[in-house]
Chain A
Amino acid sequence: MANVLVVDDEDAVCEALKRRLQREGYSVTTASSAEEACNIIRSRPEGFDIVVTDMSMEQPDSGLEVLSAAMRRDLFTEVIVLTAYGNVANAVESMRRGAFDYLEKNVPGVDTYEVLVMKVAQAMERRRDAIQTVRRLEQQAGRMPT
C-alpha cells in the first residue's frame, strides 16, 4: 500500500484529501504546516511514496520547503504541489526542483479531486519505474566485472 503525505494549513482540506485518497486505497498521513510536514518526513524510517502539499502556508513558498525535505529523504518521492490562486512562479520553481506536477485547487468546471487522484496514480507509476530502473542499473553494475 502506497504511503501519501498530505500537507495543507486548512484542516478541512487535509480531511477532504485524506478521505478521497484513502478511498483509492492509499495510506494517508496529514500535516497542517510545512514545519510539521518536514518533521514527519525526517522522523519516519522510510520516505513517503507521494507527497501532496499546498504551496502557500506559513510562507508563500512553503511548498518548496516540503519538496526539498521530501527529496532529501528519498530522491524518488514524487511531490505534487497544490496552489489556490497561488502565483505561477512558485509552481514553475517547484517543477524546476523536481516536483511531479502542480495542480490548481480552483479551476471552474474541473473536479480537482479526480484530477489529483489521477496524478497521484501517475506519480506512483513514475516512482515505480524510477525505482525499477535504478534497481536494474544496480544489478547490471553488480554483474559488471570490477
Chain B
Amino acid sequence: MPPLPFSPKPSHSQRYNAAVVKDESQSEVGCPIEVFLKELNQLFTDALHPGEDLSFLQRLLDFAMEAVGGDRAFLALVEERTGELVVVCTAGLGWTPETARLRLSLAQESARGITGHVALTATPYRTGDVSQDPYYVAYFRDVRSEIAVPIRGASGQATGVINVESAVQDRFTELHVHRLVALAHAAASALRIRGFRARESALIEIGNNLITSLDIESLMAKVLNVAAEMLRFEDCTVFLLDEVSERLVLAASRGILASRLGEAPYRLGEGITGWVAQHGVGVRLERPQLDPRWRGLCVEFPQEEISALLAVPIMGRDRVLGVMRVVRRTSPHAWFSNAFSEGEERILTSIGRQVGAAIENIRSRERLLRAERMAAWGELSARAAHMIGNRTFALKGDLNEMQYLLEQKPCEEIRDEIRELAASMARGIGRLEEILREFRDFVVATSITLASCDINEVVSDVVAETFPKRSGIALTLDLQPDLPALRCDAMKLKRAFAEIVENAVSFQPHGGSLLVRSRLVPKDEQLRHNLSQARDYVQVEFRDTGPGVATNEKERIFQPFHTTRAKGMGLGLSIVKGIVEAHNGCVREVGTPGEGAWFTVFLPLADSDSTS
C-alpha cells in the first residue's frame, strides 16, 4: 500500500494507515471490517451535512481507496448539460493537473472506458486484469485491477462513478465491490442532500427576488433567469391568462417566441398549455407531440425536435394566473434520457407558485392605487362640473352684458366697456382651460410609459422651462453627476416637478430661494426614509424659503382638491403624487413650517438584472 501523496487531508488518511493490512493476499486486502463499518457509519452521518465544497466527497474517496486496498482512485460526476463524466476528486499516485480534471464523453463509445460503462448501466463492475477487458481504456499504464461502482440518483440513473484501481492483478474481490457500493450510497445521499439544500436556498432567494418586483415586465425577466438557474432546458416560456378573453397571452420567452410577446395563441383549454391553465395541474411529458392534447400552436422550435415538455400552472390564491412551460430538444446523446424528472416538476411548480404570489402582489398594489384614485373620481367629477358651471355662468354674464351694450348704445361710446368685457371673458376661458388641464393631468397621471432617461436632464429641463427668467428668487441647482439611468416617463415627471417649482415660485412673491438637488440615496439612509432595501433610489429635492407647510397639512396637501391658491381645482400636488407613485416612488414634504417648503421625491432604479 503506497502512501497517499495527493490526499488533501493527509492526517485524516493516515488514521487508517496503521489499520491497513499489509498482507498482499486477496481476501485480507483493505482495512479491517470494524474500521470500515465505523467510518461508513460516520460518513452516512456526515452525509446529512455535506457542505457546499468537495471536501466530503474527497474524504469519502480517500477512505474508499483504503477500504479496498487500491492505490489510485477517482470520483466522477455526470454533467447533464454536456453528457460528460467529469472527474471531481482523485486519490493515490500518478495524477497530473490534466488527468485530475479529466472529462469522459459518454457519447463516444471508444472513449467511455469502464467508468463510462458503469455510468450508463448504473451497475458495479470489477475486473482482475484490465488487459483482457473489453471496456478498458488505458489512462494509466500500471493498472491491472479495477472496480467501478455507480453513485445512483433518485431515479436509479447514475449521477456519478467511484473508481478504484490497483497495479496488482486480481487485487479485488466481490467483498470489495460491496464495500464500494456501500460508500457510493453515502456519496449519493450527500449529493442528493446537497442538491436539495441548493434548491431550497435558491427557491428562497427566488421568492425574495420575485416578491420585490414592481411590475409584471421586470418580474417576467427574473422568472426566466430563475428557471434557467434551476432547470436544464432549451427554452422557457411564460403565458399569462387574460380573464376577459379567456386566452393565454405570451408574456416572456428566452428563445424565438420572445419576438411574439403579446400574442394570445391559446384559448383556455386549448393544447397542452391551455389544458394546464384550465385544470390548474402540471403536465410532464416525453414526446409531447404524441399526446392527444397537443396542438403545436406556439412552439419554441420545430415540433419534431421537442423531446420533453414540462408545463405548470402559475397559481394565484384561488385561480390560475398563467402557465410556465419548459421544453427540451431531442438530445444528441441518445443514451441520455431527456425526460423531465418528478423533482424537476416539483421545482417548476414551486417557482410557478412564487411567481403567482408575486403577480398577485403586483396586481393588488396596482388595484389599491387605482381604488384610491377611483374614490377621488366621484368628487373630481362633481367639483369639475361645479367649477366649469360657475365659470360658464360668469362668461354668460359677460356675454349678456356685451349684447346689451351693443343693442343700447353706439359702438364708439362703449368701446372701453366692450374691451373690459372681452378681457374678462378671456380670463374666464383661461380658467376653464386650466380646469381642463388639471382634470386631464389628474386622470392620466398614473398611466405612464417607461423609457430609460437621465433624471438630471429632466430636472434641468423643468427648471429651465418653469423657473421665471426674472424673479427675486435665488435658484441653486445641485445635481449629482453620473446618476444611473432611470426608467421613467420623462414627460410626466416634468409635469410633476414643474408643479413643485411653480408652487415654490408662487409662494415666494417677494423673493426667496429655491434649492433643487438630485442624488443617489446612500444604502444606509434608505431605512430612515422608509424605503425598500431591495433596490436603489434616486432622490430629487426642492427646498424653498416660502411659508412652508403646517405640520397638520403635510399629508393633506397631496389630497385632491386641497388648495390655498385660487387657481385651478386644487389637484396640483395630488397629480404630483399620482405621477410619482405610478413610478413606484414616493413624494413627501419634510420642511419646517415657517421656514419654507421642502419637497423630496424618491424614485426607484430598475433592478440591476432587468436594466439591460
Contact = CB atoms under 8 A, between A and B. Distances in A.
Given A10-B394, A12-B424, A106-B389, 4 more contacts: A54-B390, A85-B386, A106-B393, A113-B396
Nearest to A18: B397
B404 interface: yes
22 contacts: A10-B394, A12-B398, A13-B390, A13-B394, A15-B394, A16-B393, A16-B397, A16-B398, A17-B397, A54-B390, A56-B386, A84-B385, A84-B386, A84-B387, A84-B389, A86-B386, A106-B389, A106-B392, A106-B393, A111-B396, A112-B396, A113-B396
Max chain A Cβ within 10 angstroms of own Cβ: one of B390, B396, B401? B390
A86 B391 CA distance: 14
A56 B404 CA distance: 29
Interface in B388-437: 389-398, 400-401, 404, 424, 427-428
Interface residues of A, number: 20
A119 interface: no
Nearest to B403: A111
Given A12-B428, A23-B404, A56-B386, A84 B397 contact: no
Contacts of A127: none
A105 B400 CA distance: 14
A20 interface: yes
Given A85-B385, A85-B386, A105 B393 contact: yes
Interface string A76-115: 0000000011100000000000000000011000011100
Contacts of A10: 390-391, 393-394
B398 to A, nearest CB: 6
A15 B424 contact: yes
A61 B427 CA distance: 27
* 8 interchain residue pairs of minimum CB distance: A16-B397, A84-B389, A12-B394, A105-B393, A85-B385, A106-B389, A13-B394, A84-B390
Contacts of B400: 16, 20, 111, 113
Contacts of B386: 56, 84-86
Interface of A: 8, 10, 12-13, 15-17, 19-20, 23, 54, 56, 84-86, 105-106, 111-113
Given A12-B428, A105-B390, A19 B382 contact: no
B41 to A, nearest CB: 84
A28 to B, nearest CB: 13
Contact of A13 (B382, B393, B401, B427): B393
Contacts of A19: 397, 401
Given A106-B389, A111-B400, A113-B400, A16 B382 contact: no
Max chain B Cβ within 10 angstroms of own Cβ: one of A16, A23, A56? A16
Max chain A Cβ within 10 angstroms of own Cβ: one of B386, B427, B428? B386
A84 B386 CA distance: 5
Nearest to A111: B400
Contacts of B404: 23
Contacts of B427: 12
A12 B324 CA distance: 63
A11 to B, nearest CB: 8
A85 B401 contact: no
A15 B421 CA distance: 11
Contact of A105 (B382, B389, B398): B389
Contacts of A12: 391, 394-395, 397-398, 424, 427-428
Contacts of B391: 10, 12
Contact of A20 (B389, B395, B401): B401
A105 to B, nearest CB: 4
Contact of A16 (B385, B387, B394): B394
Contacts of A54: 390
